[in-house]
Amino acid sequence: MARPTKERRVCHFPEVSTFVPDGENAGQPVVLAIDEYETIRLIDNEGLSQEECATQLGVGRTTVQSIYDSARKKIAKALVAGCPIKIEGGKYCLCNGNTDYCYKSDCAKRKIQSQVKLEKGDNIMRIAVTYENGEIFQHFGHTQTFKVYDIEDGKVVSSQIVDTLGTGHGALAGLLANINADVLICGGIGGGAQMALSQAGVKLYGGVCGNADEAVEAFITGKLDYIPDVHCDHHHHDHGEEHSCGSHGCSHGKCGDN
């Protein structure tokens, strides 16, 4: 009987999960698994050796070499044939920041683990909202603070502001998991972050604009207007620039940087 495949430990999901050639689509998408993407990120982008990469992923060096070779062949095929690339699937688990194997001395997840911890009662539902000046901040990956609400018996019993400590994108899902958030209310959010939240067990309510307190009250009463299929496709906008966001479910017609 074949040995079960060991889960590969990855730091975070890619911010962009689909790449499409500029021109005629020459074939079916090439699917790059999450762990394959991670080996490319660590070896080719971060400059780690295969042995160091193996330590990061929690597998043997020969396994990393096999994953890496597969990833490069897939990328080469996509480039030569002009095929789209989709990054998804694979056998992986998200790093929780609790160990000391990380090659980065300033690992964002370890920083979060050591500095951001909130106790939570057994009967509490915890809601986190991307937050800026009382409003729902519209770009999850760039949020600098969350407003965190504890709900019990259908009422807000406490709330506080939590600083993201300068982390962004993939690491933010780890922060939400670390503070035991059950729900995230936000504006725009990318596909990679959505996968990370799902992995962390955080329920997403995206495409929401307006006052943060009012959004939480609407959630409690079952009246929150959100978009189940929300995407963040407006990275070309400067922060704070207003633009039409009707497709994001914003009842105010404007929602800033999404």
What average pLDDT does the structure give for the chain? 82
The CATH number of domain 117-248, selected from 3.40.50.300, 3.30.420.130, 3.40.50.2300, 3.10.20.740: 3.30.420.130
CA 50 to chain centre: 26
Residue type, 82: G
Q: What pLDDT score was predicted for residue 125? A: 95
**Report for 2-6, 15-19, 49-53, 93-97: range of highest mean pLDDT:** 49-53
Partnered with residue 132 across adjacent β-strands are: 135
184-205 b/e (C-beta count within 10 Å ≥ 16 → b): bbbbbbbbbbbbbbebbebebb
Tens digit of pLDDT for each residue in 42-93? 999 999 999 999 999 999 999 999 999 999 999 999 999 899 999 988 888 8
Q: Which of 10, 8, 86, 79 is nearest to 41 (CA)?
A: 10
R_g of the chain, CA atoms, integer Å = 20
Where residue 131 falls (left for φ over 0; alpha for ψ -120 to 50; beta otherwise) is beta
pTM above 0.85, yes or no: no
Tens digit of pLDDT for each residue in 232-245? 654 433 333 333 33
- Hey, do 8-94 and 117-248 end up sharing a CATH topology, with the first three levels equal? no
Q: Measured between alpha carbons, how far is 170 from 109 in angstroms, rounded to an integer?
A: 10
Total Cβ atoms within 10 A of residue 169: 21
Residue ranges per structural domain of the chain: 8-94, 117-248
8-94 fold: Arc Repressor Mutant, subunit A (1.10.10)
